């Protein structure tokens, strides 16, 4: 069976890319089709994989400023020729699900989220763009057209897998499709407990606007307590400008070092509304509780007074109150790690393999359209086409 993997782009290293890395491990011979591939920004694990890029890779500034080519992204994925493959697995939070396959090919989409800036975050996305007002007036028109394509593209998928119940509900809402829930995984073996807990709080991930790192920084500026932030992203410079000496930026941290940073923290700060939240799970795998905004994927992972605490509003006051009321002595690291074992990568692989096997069997049992039983229709029911 020939398998192909499709992903939005390999220009960063986030939770979606970690899922892709596991899919690549499950299907090591499968090529990966992406919009663009930045070897420096992507995880090193993909350097041993056959990665096929779209025409946008060769466009002027296509690699570093691929966002400029947003109107061309649907076409870029439609131009990939996947007709030689029996199984296509798309890992999508944007356009990867829109590839075109032949009728005999099974297309399964592992959906990280319906495209945020087209659906749930479309208004805040336009507002947060750092363009002048004139350009911003034309952006909604572009998004409107792409939104129509995105909905139609969702119909090309044979089966959806959602990374959480939260995303399954969004797939149902925006695409009118059902989805099997297989939680995004955390590699439990990469993290460990520590008897030594430091005096700092921790946050991190891709430094983008919707993750609300500015809220965390404003809160710790007010509190004056130690905070460490790991990760890189487009918001790095602006975030650094607003910080006080009690806040430290760690940059891109290697996995071995990151495990230490997690395990020695007092707690992980998670102020965004996330699809699921891999960084929160990694903190729990290290036995450290999470202080999270009580919306989205956090409601499925953060168990109050067991794996962390929830705060109700995305405000400095609400987050500060939660931090001040937090006491690490009220949490058992062993119990936290035991809880997060249900998200381990081994269980993820098992569930995905079982789902694919079931989907393949079911898909190939379906009666093809061309074998419509005409024998059950009498000649009187067939009328000539009139023009």
- For every residue of 116-132, DSSP letters joined together read GGGTTTHHHHHHH--S-
Place of tokens 């992980």: 268
Give the confidence band of 230 by pLDDT, cuts at 50, 70, 90: very high
The side-by-side arrangement of strands in the sheet containing 247-251 is 247-251, 227-230, 201-204, 268-270, 290-293, 308-311
pLDDT at residue 370, as a whole number:
42
Q: pLDDT (tens digit, 9 = 90+) per residue, 80-115?
A: 999 999 999 999 999 999 999 999 999 999 999 999
Which top CATH class is 3-185+345-371?
alpha beta
pLDDT score recorded for residue 9: 95
Partners of 32 in beta bridges:
5, 51
Q: At what angle do helices 255-263 and 278-285 cross, to 10 degrees?
A: 70
pTM of structure: 0.85
CA 287 to each of CA 116, 279, 302, 334: distance values in angstroms, whole numbers, following the listed order:
31, 13, 13, 6
pLDDT score recorded for residue 36:
96
Question: Over 70: is that where the pLDDT of 338 sits?
Answer: yes
Which pLDDT does position 123 carry in this prediction? 74
Q: Does the pLDDT value for residue 67 go beyond 70?
A: yes
CATH number of 188-342: 3.40.50.2000
- The residues spanned by each domain of the chain are 3-185+345-371, 188-342
| N residues, the chain | 387
* Within this chain, domains 3-185+345-371 and 188-342 share the same CATH topology: yes
Where in 73-163 does DSSP place strands (E)? 87-92, 106-111, 159-162
């Amino acid at each position: 069976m020939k398998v192909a993997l499709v992903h939005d782009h390999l220009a960063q290293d986030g939770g979606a890319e970690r899922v892709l890395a596991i899919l690549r491990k499950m299907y090591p011979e499968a090529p990966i089709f992406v919009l663009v591939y930045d070897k420096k920004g992507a995880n090193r694990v993909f350097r041993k994989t056959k990665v096929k890029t779209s025409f946008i890779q060769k466009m002027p500034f296509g690699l570093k400023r691929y966002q400029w080519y947003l109107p061309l992204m649907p076409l870029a994925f439609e131009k990939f020729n996947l007709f030689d493959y029996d199984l296509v697995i798309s890992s999508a939070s944007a356009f990867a699900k829109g590839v075109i396959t032949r009728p005999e090919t099974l297309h399964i989409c592992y959906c990280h989220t319906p495209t945020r800036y087209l659906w749930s975050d479309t208004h805040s996305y336009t507002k947060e763009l750092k363009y002048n007002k004139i350009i911003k007036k034309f952006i909604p028109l572009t998004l409107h057209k792409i939104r129509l394509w995105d909905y139609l593209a969702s119909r090309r998928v044979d089966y959806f897998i959602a990374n959480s119940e939260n995303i399954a509900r969004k797939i149902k809402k925006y695409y009118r499709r059902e989805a099997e829930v297989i939680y995004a995984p955390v590699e439990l073996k990469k993290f460990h407990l520590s008897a030594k807990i430091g005096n700092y709080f921790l946050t991190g991930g891709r430094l983008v606007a919707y993750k609300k790192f500015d809220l965390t920084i404003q809160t710790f500026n007010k509190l004056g307590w130690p905070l460490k932030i790991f990760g890189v992203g487009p918001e790095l410079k602006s975030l650094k400008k607003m910080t006080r000496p009690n806040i430290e930026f760690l940059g891109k941290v290697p996995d071995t070092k990151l495990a230490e940073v997690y395990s020695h923290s007092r707690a992980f700060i998670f102020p965004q509304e996330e699809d699921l939240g891999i960084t929160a799970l990694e903190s729990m795998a290290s036995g450290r509780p999470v202080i999270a905004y009580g919306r989205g994927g956090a409601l499925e992972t953060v168990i109050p007074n067991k794996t962390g605490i929830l705060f109700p509003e995305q405000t400095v006051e609400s987050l500060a109150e939660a931090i001040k009321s937090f006491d690490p002595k009220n949490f058992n690291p062993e119990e936290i790690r035991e809880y997060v074992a249900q998200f381990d990568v081994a269980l993820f692989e098992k569930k995905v393999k079982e789902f694919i096997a079931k989907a393949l069997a079911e898909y190939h049992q379906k009666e093809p359209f061309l074998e419509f039983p005409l024998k059950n229709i009498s000649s009187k029911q067939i009328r000539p086409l009139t023009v």
